[in-house]
Amino acid sequence: MLPSMVSLAALICAILAGCTGSGTPGGPASSSHVFGPPGSAGNPLVLSCDARFGPSLWFRPRPGDLVIGPLDLAGGKAVATMTPAKYGYSSDGHGGRFYKMGLALARGATATVTIAPPARGHVVMDIGSLSGVTSATYHSCTHQAVGFAQGFAFTHRPFRGCVPLDVTIGNRSPVHHVTLSLFAGTCMTDPAAGTTASR
C-alpha cells in the first residue's frame, strides 16, 4: 500500500472507528453484533479521546445543562424555553437546521447517546464534520474531562421539538431514557406510544 493510502486508511479508521494511537478500541458501543453503517443505532460512531475538541473547561455542570451521570450536554435544559433565533443555528443539508450543543464527558468515562425511534429521520446528530449520526459512543481521556464539538439537527420542519434520547453509561445497563427539549417547552412522555410531545 502506498504511504498516502496508509495515511488515508489510518485517518478513516480514527474518524469512523475510534481506533487511534490512544489504544481506544473501535467497534460497536454495547454489542458484538454490528449492523448498519457507522453512526446508525446498530453500529454507533465511536469517538476516542483523540477525537475530542479539547479539555473540557466547562465540565462543571451548570443549572441549565442536561446531565446524565458523567455526561453533560451544555445548555440542554435551558434551551427548552429559548427560541431558535436567540439560541442561534445554521443550515444543515437540504432544508435542515443545526443547533450546536457541546458535550462534555468526565475523566475516564464512556457514554453512548442514541436518538430514539420516534425522532429518527427527523433529528440527527452532527459531530465535528460528520453529519446524519443516529448513535455515537464517546470515550473520554483517562487523565482529564473532555469536550466534543457536536450538536443536533432537524432534517426538515418543524425545527423544534421533544427529542427522545437513549443514553448508556459505560456500555452497561440501565439505559437512561431522557428527553431533550429543543425550543419545545416542557416535554411529556406518552407511555403507551413511547413518543414525546410538548405542552
From first to last of its 199 residues, what are the pLDDT tens digits of the chain? 434 333 323 333 333 333 333 333 344 444 456 789 999 999 999 999 888 776 555 567 889 999 999 999 999 999 999 999 999 999 998 899 999 999 999 999 999 999 999 999 999 999 988 999 999 999 999 988 899 999 999 999 999 999 999 999 998 889 999 999 999 999 986 543 344 556 5
All cell numbers assigned to 30: 454495547
Q: What is the pTM of this model?
A: 0.79
**114 forms bridges with which residues in the sheet?**
135, 166
What pLDDT is attached to residue 18?
37
Q: List the beta bridge partners of residue 125.
A: 133, 152
CB 91 within 8 A of CB 134: no
Distance CA(97)–CA(87), nearest Å, equals: 12
Predicted confidence at residue 27, as pLDDT, reads 40
Residue 199: other Cβ atoms inside 10 A: 8
Letter for the amino acid at 63?
P
- Predicted local confidence at residue 166, as pLDDT: 97
Q: Tens digit of pLDDT for each residue in 101-156?
A: 999 999 999 999 999 999 999 999 999 889 999 999 999 999 888 999 999 999 99
The predicted pLDDT at position 14 comes to 38
Helix spans in 78-166 (H): 84-87
